[in-house]
Chains A and B, each alone.
Chain A
Amino acid sequence: MKYLFYPGCTQDGSALEYKISTLAVLEALGAEIEEIEDWTCCGASAASVMSGLLGVVLPARNLALAEQVLGENDGYDVLAICSACYTNLRRTSEAVADDPALLKKINQALEVEGLIYHGTAQTRHLMDVLANDFDLEAIKERVKRPLEGLTVASYYGCQTVRPLSPFDDDQRPTSMVAIIEALGATVHRHNREASCCGTSLQMTKPEVGIGMAASVLEACEPADCVAAVCPMCHMNLDSYQDKTVRMSGQSRRIPILFLPQLMGLAFGLPESEMMFERHVVSVKPMLQKLT
């Protein structure tokens, strides 16, 4: 398996541990990863509000860089690990697929960067890749330290499965279940698995955003930890958890892990590649439960 990796801004900043653990786990599973050189921001939720065209030109710039590497038919895909990057990159591919005029306009813009976008590069989410490109037996074989006795709440967030969900159900996703079980843990299913974490409302309208995060944490409460696959979800559930607890009266703190961190833990990969010390809510009580 080979992937052309689009890390996204947050993975070089507050969610560095997501990138490092993802690379470690994919390497352990035998995947080959190449980072797109000179990538820039996908525009997040902001660029397309400032300008509809900018909102597709910024993702297209990265896809054009990817296409330089991919050539015509190399048969491998762009890998995004942030759900907002994923949605922006895919939204752009889909928009040009049936709109040659838009593709032409995007290329008129990309001219100043010396790039041409053809609309051929395909983007996939880490959740899709982990659930569908690797045999479950291969994952099980890699497990050195089964997560027995641990209950993990699966959490997908919104844009992992909406509006584009080629690999899972957009209301009740299940991609994580078999993976978490293969690691030896028990899955806590709940009714907020694909609910919103509050995204940037945490900053712009905290009274609303924090309520959304609180309802997710409340649904996850019976578990020992939450498994997430998006840096925005992680930020809102982990970094903001002190604020959320103050508002909601939640009875205890719950650690939020990126799914690859959980996999790395079970694979027995070095803690330096999991970087649990970066989390705001301590992972220690959960780790102690394992030993």
Chain B
Amino acid sequence: MATSEPLHLTAVKRDPAFADRLSPDGRLLRRCIQCGTCTASCPASPAMDLSPRRMWRMVQLGLEEDVLCSKTMWLCSLCYQCQVRCPRGIPLTDTITRLKEMALKRKLAASQESAGFYRAFTDMIRRYGRNREMEFMVRYFLATNPLNALNYAGMGLTLFSRGKARPEFPRLGGEGRLDRLFERVAELEGRR
């Protein structure tokens, strides 16, 4: 859905409770007055399919699928400018993280790269308790586009030569350092 197109609200599926289901407190989104400070403050808004202002209006209107399928949330770099500048005090950036979580859980994520990035990173924490940068990069490329690794080969060699990167050998199998904690969190969230 392009930013300039008008919305025909009678012709689309809407869930008026969508905003309420978003945390920290989705009801706060009802306060939005569409001033556009979020869009004006966002360093990535020119690259978004829905501007932040338009996306929040669509959240208010309950256009859940259109919002969750858009690329907008995946271009958020968590700079928190929209959140601290919002004149209505809405925790916008934190709510974008919840939108990402929803889109991933419903398999609607419009960015294979971002989904692969977050999954590969979280898997590193579960396995080792801490990130291992080189192994993470390899897993990220394998999960998204292995050929893309070639674009980073030059930089990788430089980092090795400076001692900033070091070879890491993945541990295959065995119990992950934080397996039990991750499983308990999944239980508490009713995911198993």
The answer to whether A and B belong to the same complex is: yes
A215 to B162, CA, bound (A): 26
Q: Which of B118, B125, B158, B185 has the most CB of A within 10 A?
A: B185
| Contact of A9 with B by CB under 8 A | yes
Task: Assess whether A49 is in contact with B104, with CB atoms less than 8 Å apart.
Answer: yes
Q: Which residues does chain B contribute within 8 Å of A163, judged by CB atoms?
A: 80, 83-84, 91, 93-94
Task: Assess whether A205 is in contact with B113, with CB atoms less than 8 Å apart.
Answer: yes
Task: Assess whether B43 is in contact with A203, with CB atoms less than 8 Å apart.
Answer: no
Which one of A51-59, A119-127, A178-186, A219-227 contacts B?
A: A51-59
Q: What is the 8 Å Cβ interface bit string for chain B, positions 70-81, against chain A (1 contact, 0 not)? A: 000011011111
| Contact of B33 with A by CB under 8 A | no
| Contact of B37 with A by CB under 8 A | no
Q: Which of A49, A199, A209 has the most CB of B within 10 A?
A: A49
| Interface set, chain B 134-174, CB cutoff 8 A to A | 140, 154-155, 158-159, 162-166
Number of CB contacts from chain A to chain B under 8 A = 169
Which one of B4-12, B13-21, B54-62, B175-183 contacts A?
A: B175-183
Task: Assess whether B162 is in contact with A44, with CB atoms less than 8 Å apart.
Answer: no
| Contact of A105 with B by CB under 8 A | yes
CB of B192, distance to nearest CB on chain A (Å): 12
| Contact of B88 with A by CB under 8 A | no
| Contact of A167 with B by CB under 8 A | no
| Contact of B188 with A by CB under 8 A | yes
A46 to B101, CA, bound (A): 10
Task: Assess whether B84 is in contact with A170, with CB atoms less than 8 Å apart.
Answer: yes
Please give me the residue from chain B that is nearest to A105 by CB atom. B188
| Interface set, chain B 7-61, CB cutoff 8 A to A | 23-24, 43-44, 47
| A interface list, Cβ under 8 A from B | 9-10, 12-14, 16, 40-41, 43-55, 57-58, 61, 95, 105, 108-113, 158-159, 162-163, 165, 170-171, 195-196, 198-201, 203-205, 207-209, 212, 215, 239-240, 242-243, 277-280
